[in-house]
Amino acid sequence: MDTLGRVEKFQKSREKARLVTTQKIKKEQTKEQRKRPTNLREMLELAKKQASS
């Protein structure tokens, strides 16, 4: 049986899954950063957060 090949195949698929998840997380973070406030209250809260940082 070719167990060595199976292990390598599993490791490759696991590495690819890890890369995909990191890319997905980065993409979600950029979406959150680009989110624009929809009303005045959100705009003021965002301004307060930026001022306190």
Q: Which residue has the tokens 């990191």?
A: 22
What's the confidence (pLDDT) of residue 6?
A: 87
Regions of the chain short of the pLDDT cut 50: none
Residue that is written with structure tokens 């490791």 in the block: 11
Tell me how far apart the 2 most distant CA atoms of the chain are, in Å: 66
pLDDT at site 18:
96
What is the residue extent of each domain of the chain? 3-52
Q: Tell me the C-alpha distance between 40 and 45, whole Å.
A: 9
Q: SS3 breakdown of the chain: % helix, strand, coil, rounded to 5?
A: 85, 0, 15
Q: Each residue of 9-23: pLDDT tens digit?
A: 999 999 999 999 999
Report pLDDT for 1.
Answer: 60
**Quick one: tokens of 30?**
């950029």
* Overall pTM > 0.85: no
Q: Can you give the pLDDT at residue 5?
A: 86
Place of tokens 């809260």: 45
pLDDT computed for residue 15 by the predictor? 96
